[in-house]
A and B are shown apart, each in its own frame.
Chain A
Amino acid sequence: MGNVIGIGAAPKRKEDQRFLTGRGNYVSDIKRPGMTAGVFVRSPHGHAVLRAIDKSAALAAPGVIAILTGDDVADDGLGSLPCGWGITDAKGVPMKEPPFPMLAQDKVRFVGDMVAFVVAETPEQADEAAELLKVDYEVLPSVVGVLEAVRLDAPQLFADVPNNICCDWELGDKAAVEAAFKKAAHVAKLSLVNNRLIGNPMEPRAAIAEYEPGTDRFTLWTTSQFPHVVRFLMGALVLNIPQHKLRVVAPDVGGGFGVKQFHYGEEAVITWAARRVRRPVKWVASRSEGFVSDRHGRDHVTEAELALDETGKFLAFRVKTLANMGGYLSTFGPNIPTNLYGPLLGGVYTTPAIYCNVKVVFTNTVPVDAYRGAGRPEATFVLERIVDVAASEMGIDRVEIRRRNMIPKEAYPYQTPVLVQYDSGDPMGCLDGALVAADVKNFGIRKAASASKGKFRGLGYSTYVEACGLAPSRFAGRLGARGGLYESATVRVHPTGQVTVMIGTHNHGQGHETTFAQIVSEKLGVAFENVDIVFGDTDRVQFGMGTYGSRSLVVGGAALSKATDKVIAKGKKIAAHLLEAAEVDIQFESGKFSVAGTDRGKTFEEIAGAAYVPHDYPLEVLEPGLEEQAYYDPVNFTYPGGCHIAEVEVDPETGTVTLLNYTAVDDVGTVINPMIVEGQLHGGIVQGVGQALFENAVYDEGSGQLLSGSLMDYCMPRADHLPMMKVATHSTLCTHTPMGVKGCGEVGTIGSPAAIINAVVDALSHLGVTHVDMPATPNRIWRLLQNASLPVAAE
């Protein structure tokens, strides 16, 4: 018998045994009898009329089994890829929602748009045939940037979407904001770009589909963060497959970061093709294919204004953003730059009036959707940057201006002017902790040391809050969600007392198999090693909305906690019977049911045994067995936050920015496994470092070609780009989640870009630099220094 390893412990991760010994089971590891290989033919043009496709030469190639195109999709009467959110404009007019066919019909709208699917005996034969497919395009001018896309003379992606504007969305009290600006002693203004990112999970996307004619059932293995949602969207809305005839399995998945939380056309095409060819079909994306088909993230152009009184108190905040949607609406696309952006513009401050207008715009680029943080890094970046701009312009210290505007701990719960109500938090406590941990008081000494080497050192702060644990279904429904956002868990206690949990979230690197096992071990007093977590299979798990928005522990963990409570409640009834005591007198502690005030008791294993061998059992009033299920729909988002401090050094000769120190003090609520939390913070921060310093998806205006289409040109952060990080938690407990947890998956990515860019601007502020767009590449910094107001001493 092993030990209980409960909440707050840091055991090594259960799942790492198989991951580190090469025994994971990823989609590309799966082989099915009679399996065929599929390859997608993708548009090489950003924008073109699809005039004709000649299949003849490709069909004649060796090994070819089928070639499917948009015409076949239309002939079979299949649906469009659905969007999970329907937002409306200020007048209540629904967003423009043009169809998103799984294979292009009439037109292609981005480089990578799918034109045909080739099924052959081998991947090589499919590749050969794909090259022989003759596609006749009439190439049209592409538009890739949002500023260009809304011009009157811009190429139009859809006939019925004037000026490429999907929705002109707004939030907040516009009149109150205007009134506040009129009274302002100072107005800070900032124009910025939030750069487009490509997630690049280590495992490329892949899928296998199989159709069994004997049972009329389909199985889809796919690299997904939410198999039940894929089953619903694809089965019910695209392919018309009844839910009970469709099994979706997402086995081990090698990283997601949001990229795998959408229903992709590839999944639908492959499933449809498997029935047409009556054989299993497998597709594995290459890295290059991922660059032009995985949904991208961010891509905003923003104008922001902050009104302040003479003491530096924020009076009002006004933000106007153009958000790039790419060529079509992806699963969550329009929700990200609106509902997950505007409500976060209050930050940790008491700003009384906020107005946000977002024009959601179509362009000839890969569809844009959620990427780790999803809307909240964008909001944090705008807010934390303009706070620095205001401080600088008004001559107020950057920490001091934050303190003057911060929501005090006592003021929680705090209602913001932008929908959300923060339940708990202590931003000042996080700030104070971070100032000490980052040794800010000795920064001047370090800056002088850098200066003696001809380098410029800077310090940057980001005091931020985010909303995660998606999401209260009723609230989300009012905002336009077309589904619920609860989570479910089943706790199956075996006759010998071991436990299997079936949960609707999906583990793709976060360590759920460990964290959730700790919760069960703690609550049921069962040995950690005697708990297994099952996820990612619609035939094994009852239902679930999956993993994204830092929701697994917050929502899934809450469902699990509730289900274990039900197990304990039933166990007490069984124990009361066996111990001949009243149910109210039964206590459960450390894995033992006992009669209060006595030494009489039964172990958890004994109760489990009695439940499955009910010879001495209250069968008249209680069912045998010990398995309980709970669904949990949160009453509010959770609001993790914290303070990040970045310290950078700029080499003015080359423009190179080096991140020297990074400190994060975050409020993530109750910590289940501190090692896993630390890992999540590290990983999140690194993705923020990537956005701030390295990553940039660049398209060529006009042709729509992705210029940063490989890892040779798109720079992911690497170990040697990073310092050792100091991360710590300063937690207040969430008041409405069962365990007080808040979620930690995205905080690092949300807090860090602003901290780093604020540090870069600080390093260069003596040269008159007031803003640096991301990524702060050497070329960009050098250019700024060339244009800076003071000459650079380069010698």
Chain B
Amino acid sequence: MKPFAYHQPDQLPDAAKLLSSIEDSKLVAGGMTLIPTLKQRLASPVALVDLSRLENLRGITDDGATITIGAMTPHAVVAASKLLQTKIPGLAALASMIGDPAVRSRGTIGGSVANNDPAADYPAGVLGLGATIVTSMREIAADKFFLGLFETALEPGEIITAIRFPVPLRAGYAKLKAPASRYALVGVFVAKFTDGVRVAVTGAGAGVFRVAPMEAALSGNFGPSAIAAIKIDTDGLTSDIHAEADYRAHLVTVMAKRAVDAALS
């Protein structure tokens, strides 16, 4: 690890000021990706701004038609939330499938969404539910937030404070875990709203994406058979030592069916 300055502000404006005033500074939330990167000397920020003292960024609130999860809320809290288990059980289930117990205790929803790892679980839930990313500066719709491999719409100095999820009629998530990393080889989040269905895929390509033909088919008939015959094109899908692109394409259909099953159960 290379040396860096360490700041632990307890007010959001202070954190934002530190982040924008120190060049090459970085936020640390749960640190599940950043800390290993630092240890391998692959990143060398001048300063770390730790968000762990920002109590306002923690917790889950019921706003009626929406549920808001503070950016610093750990996965384990989301997984165990009675509110989410009742109103968006698919999202609680997704959180329960992330990593291992240590990762779920430290890792946060804001950190995961800001990092936008192409195989992370939360981006599928956020995009699949059409959530809103609330930041220190503005609100960003999920459809405009995820821009590809580790890229997001966040501006320099901008801090995610919460994610606001609309409550769907039904939602489900299914993933095939990469056996070593426990990231998604392919994960699919399916959500049914009164005005239609959203299907978001993670793990398969360079970033989370929606599958329009599946959304259309499921909007007409919300059951696994509606999408069983829908094949995903392998263009742009990832091939690596764990899974080839055509296998990932096949898994998108399989996981989508299982996500629908989960949403119906």
> Residues of A at under 8 Å CB distance from B?
124, 127-128, 131, 286, 288, 653-656, 694, 696, 698, 707-708, 711-716, 721, 777-779, 782-783, 794-795
Contact = CB atoms under 8 A, between A and B. Distances in A.
Contacts of B243: 778-779
A653 B254 CA distance: 7
B250 interface: yes
B180 A656 contact: no
Closest 5 CB pairs of A and B: A715-B180, A712-B181, A715-B179, A779-B243, A653-B254
Interface centre among B179, B181, B185, B241 (most CB of A within 10 A): B179
A711 B180 contact: yes
Contacts of A712: 180-181, 183
Interface in B155-212: 176, 179-181, 183, 185
Given A124-B3, A777-B242, A654 B254 contact: yes
Contacts of A653: 254
Contact of B242 (A288, A716, A779): A779
Contacts of B41: 127, 131
A713 B251 contact: no
Interface residues of B, number: 22
Contact of B176 (A716, A778, A794, A795): A778
30 contacts: A124-B2, A124-B3, A127-B2, A286-B39, A653-B254, A654-B176, A654-B251, A654-B254, A655-B247, A696-B241, A707-B241, A711-B180, A712-B180, A712-B181, A713-B180, A713-B181, A713-B241, A713-B242, A714-B180, A715-B179, A715-B180, A716-B180, A721-B179, A777-B179, A778-B176, A779-B243, A782-B250, A783-B244, A783-B247, A795-B228
Given A124-B3, A779-B242, A656 B176 contact: yes
Given A124-B2, A653-B254, 5 more contacts: A127-B41, A654-B254, A707-B241, A711-B180, A795-B228
Nearest to A780: B247
B149 interface: no
A127 B39 CA distance: 11
B40 interface: yes
Nearest to B243: A779
B8 to A, nearest CB: 22
B239 to A, nearest CB: 10
A694 B176 contact: no
B1 A288 contact: no
Given A124-B1, A713-B241, A779 B180 contact: no
Contacts of B1: 124
A148 to B, nearest CB: 18
A714 B179 CA distance: 9
Contacts of A128: 2
Nearest to A783: B247
A610 B244 CA distance: 76
Contacts of B250: 782
A653 B250 CA distance: 9
Interface centre among A127, A711, A778, A795 (most CB of B within 10 A): A778
A124 B250 CA distance: 47
A655 B1 CA distance: 40
Contacts of B241: 696, 698, 707-708, 713
Contacts of B3: 124
Contacts of A127: 2, 41
Contacts of A708: 241
B179 A694 contact: yes
Contacts of B183: 712
Given A124-B1, A653-B254, A708-B241, A778 B185 contact: yes
A794 B243 CA distance: 19
A415 to B, nearest CB: 44
Contacts of A778: 176, 185, 243, 247
Nearest to A128: B2
A782 B176 contact: no
A124 B180 CA distance: 29
A288 B176 contact: no
Nearest to B3: A124
A131 B41 CA distance: 10
A714 B180 CA distance: 6
Interface string B88-109: 0000000000000000000000
A713 B243 CA distance: 12
A743 to B, nearest CB: 31
Nearest to B225: A795
A656 B180 CA distance: 14
A669 B58 CA distance: 59
A721 B182 CA distance: 12
B5 to A, nearest CB: 15
B176 to A, nearest CB: 6
A655 B241 CA distance: 15
A782 B247 contact: yes
Nearest to A795: B228
Contact of B180 (A288, A694, A794): A694
A696 B242 CA distance: 10
Interface centre among A714, A715, A716, A779 (most CB of B within 10 A): A779
Contacts of B181: 712-713
Nearest to A123: B1
Nearest to A288: B40
A779 B244 contact: yes
A696 to B, nearest CB: 8
A707 B225 CA distance: 38
Contacts of A782: 247, 250
B178 to A, nearest CB: 8
A385 B254 CA distance: 32
B198 to A, nearest CB: 23
A696 B241 CA distance: 10
A783 B3 CA distance: 47
A715 B179 CA distance: 6
A721 B100 CA distance: 13
Contacts of A794: 254
A591 B250 CA distance: 70
A650 to B, nearest CB: 14
Contacts of B247: 655, 778-779, 782-783
Interface centre among A288, A653, A698 (most CB of B within 10 A): A653
Contacts of A131: 41
Nearest to A782: B247
A125 B17 CA distance: 31
A654 B186 CA distance: 11
Contacts of A779: 242-244, 247
A713 B119 CA distance: 13
Contacts of B176: 654, 656, 778
A40 B244 CA distance: 35
Contacts of B40: 288
B80 to A, nearest CB: 19
Interface string B214-243: 000000000001001000000000000111
Nearest to A712: B181
A289 to B, nearest CB: 11
A714 B176 CA distance: 17
A82 to B, nearest CB: 33
A395 to B, nearest CB: 34
Contacts of A715: 179-180
B1 to A, nearest CB: 7
A1 to B, nearest CB: 45
Nearest to B176: A654
A246 B159 CA distance: 58
A656 B186 CA distance: 13
A707 B228 CA distance: 34
Contacts of B180: 694, 711-716
A127 B181 CA distance: 27
A377 B250 CA distance: 34
A712 B40 CA distance: 14
A782 B228 CA distance: 17
A711 B40 CA distance: 14
